[in-house]
Structure 1
């Protein structure tokens, strides 16, 4: 907790129909709250009781416009921390991730960063371990982070860049590129954040790799994010 009484860190979790798993997602953040972090859940119109399930585990549960970028921006607008961490509802951060990111930003003089990612099914599917390693290596090479890696950023830098562009896909890539241009390369923490590999396993690992590579290439070539989002939903 900062000397002013405001939190150093605010964690923003966008959610949509996550009632079955939201408590498990927020449980690891309870020690962070004890250390002064603020946790906000931004619901995008759930009809399964997500709001009620999340309430005991968060400082605030907000109702926002549907769309992950819109929800994260709405949470950031209500957050009071100096640093913002955007955490997907199907990710689990390192136990001491709050300390690591705050100390890392201060030590390295960076304004933003991300964790390494580990896919949850890596123990069952060795190829998923390779996928995670490639994601982390690519991020270090390009200086671009994805939402699955737990993107964190100082509030001043986030607001200066206008937050997440309110597009239906690749909002994390777009913000990363803007932050890299204005603030330099990200702090890349090697402590792993674990994210669900359900989509990879359900749709096939190789098929999903090719899909994601193709979507990203088309995005960099100027494709409409709405068109890419529709293709992503098809799997």
Structure 2
């Protein structure tokens, strides 16, 4: 880590979190976000939760927005449209951030602030960590990092940090229920560089538990291929859930 004494204070940050029935995991993420040392704005965009997600977010001081029926792309776009600050951080509600996440993000922003082109030329993502840890998940994490860095295609569960000017220049999130992350990342990649932050983001491994790490990964790859060939995200979202 660089010496923070050489860096200016971090700017205000708008954090956008799409949510649907994440009352168990969400409070942990909201607690992690309290480490940001400057003014921050937490925007929880709820897709119609029937648990205590909304109540938990409100107790943590988040602005709660509603976007129903649930559609993650629309929820993310709604949050970005309502965000008040210039720096945007998009996170999934089941994510966890490490103790030094604020330092990592602050240093990335501070370096970009010294170069006007960097605010339009760079977006950042975290290194993926799947919990609880297993050998198969560790191997998958390494594959994800290679794909993200070499292929410039991080996904939404890795988080996404960017300046508002870059977000707007790329057209923002499309209001689609699946592939909204890849859709935006591909547009970002046409005009900017996607760079890994030097700290991990943890995501809940439950979706891999349903059918296994490699079966889930293979299914996701097939869905991405069908999307690239033009199949509707709405149709693919049904297949993803099933």
Structure-1-length-normalised TM-score: 0.89
Aligned ranges 1:27-176 → 2 under 5 Å: 27-32=31-36, 34-65=37-68, 66-107=70-111, 109=118, 110-122=121-133, 125-176=134-185
CA–CA distance in structure 2, aligned partners of residues 92 and 20 of structure 1: 12
Name the counterpart of 1:18.
22
Counting matched residue pairs gives 225
CA–CA distance in structure 2, aligned partners of residues 107 and 63 of structure 1: 35
CA–CA distance in structure 1, aligned partners of residues 11 and 75 of structure 2: 21
Query: Offset at 1:37?
Result: 2.2
Contact 2:97 2:202 in 1 (8 A): yes
Say which SS state the counterpart of residue 186 (structure 1) adopts: strand
Query: Offset at 1:8?
Result: 2.5
Q: Cα deviations across residues 54-73 of structure 1 (Å, max 9, x unaligned)?
A: 11213312222321111111
5+ unaligned residues in a row in structure 1: which ranges?
1-5
Structure-2-length-normalised TM-score: 0.86
Contact 2:11 2:38 in 1 (8 A): no
CA–CA distance in structure 2, aligned partners of residues 30 and 186 of structure 1: 25
Name the counterpart of 1:3.
none
CA–CA distance in structure 1, aligned partners of residues 40 and 56 of structure 2: 20
Selected match of 2:222 from 205, 214, 217: 214
Selected match of 1:198 from 193, 206, 212: 206
CA–CA distance in structure 2, aligned partners of residues 211 and 97 of structure 1: 31
Query: Offset at 1:16?
Result: 0.9
CA–CA distance in structure 2, aligned partners of residues 227 and 59 of structure 1: 32
Contact 1:40 1:58 in 2 (8 A): no
Say which SS state the counterpart of residue 127 (structure 1) adopts: helix
Query: Offset at 1:35?
Result: 3.1
Q: Are 2:195 and 1:187 aligned?
A: yes
Q: Cα deviations across residues 180-202 of structure 1 (Å, max 9, x unaligned)?
A: 112x2212113110011111122
CA–CA distance in structure 1, aligned partners of residues 58 and 19 of structure 2: 12
Selected match of 1:230 from 227, 238, 241: 238
CA–CA distance in structure 1, aligned partners of residues 201 and 52 of structure 2: 26
4+ aligned runs moved over 6 Å, structure 1: none
Farther-moved stretch of structure 1 (151-160 vs 130-139): 151-160
CA–CA distance in structure 2, aligned partners of residues 215 and 142 of structure 1: 18
